[in-house]
Amino acid sequence: MKVTVNEDRCVGHGICESIAPDLFAVGDDGLSHVLVDDIGEDRREAAAKAIAACPSQALNSTE
């Protein structure tokens, strides 16, 4: 699974980082960033929770 951040929608709430700090981080630019290029099966549930929780719907996933 790959996750991307739509920088036009992200406002840096950091909810993704609070749910999955090993997958997401809010950078100095105030935007969320994905820390892992390919999210393994063991972290997909956490990634899906972060995607669903994003209030600005800035996170997208592809298989």
Taking the domain 2-62, which CATH number applies?
A: 3.30.70.20
Mean pLDDT on 3-27: 98
Domain locations along the chain? 2-62
How confident is the model at residue 37, as a pLDDT? 94
How confident is the model at residue 7, as a pLDDT? 97
Q: What does pTM read for this prediction?
A: 0.92
Interatomic CA distance for residues 24 and 15, integer angstroms: 9
How confident is the model at residue 22, as a pLDDT? 98
Q: What is the pLDDT of residues 19-58, one digit of tens each?
A: 999 999 999 999 999 999 999 999 999 999 999 999 999 9
CB atoms under 10 Å from CB of 36, counted, come to 15
